[in-house]
């Protein structure tokens, strides 16, 4: 359980570093210059993150033996 929680903590920290630091500038510039591309890229990012995070959290919760509804 300690290994899985540590893995999750590392993933969350890495995610925050990548998203908050890298994407902040890119998204701000795009928002100011091209709203259509900003909207499409935003939708893509949100959907991709949705699918990826579901996969990661499911994997970790399964490893922690937390039972799901299914």
Residue 67 interacts with other proteins (CB under 8 A): yes or no = yes
Shortest reach from residue 27's CB to other proteins, in Å: 5
Residue 65 interacts with other proteins (CB under 8 A): yes or no = no
Between CA 48 and CA 13 the distance in angstroms is 18
Determine the Cα angle at 62 with ends 57 and 65, to 5°: 130
Residue 6 interacts with other proteins (CB under 8 A): yes or no = no
Burial of 42 (0-12, 13-18, 19+ CB in 10 A): middle
Q: What secondary structure letter does DSSP report for 65? A: T
Residue 27 interacts with other proteins (CB under 8 A): yes or no = yes
Which positions lie near other proteins, rule CB under 8 A?
12, 15-16, 19-20, 23-24, 27-28, 31, 35-36, 38-43, 45-51, 53-54, 56-58, 61, 66-70
């Amino acid at each position: 359980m300690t290994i899985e929680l540590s893995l999750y903590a590392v993933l969350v920290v890495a995610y925050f570093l990548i998203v908050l630091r890298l994407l902040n500038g890119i998204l701000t510039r795009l928002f100011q210059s091209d709203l259509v591309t900003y909207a499409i890229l935003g939708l893509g990012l949100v959907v991709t993150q949705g699918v990826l995070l579901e996969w990661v959290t499911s994997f970790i919760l399964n490893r922690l033996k937390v039972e799901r509804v299914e």
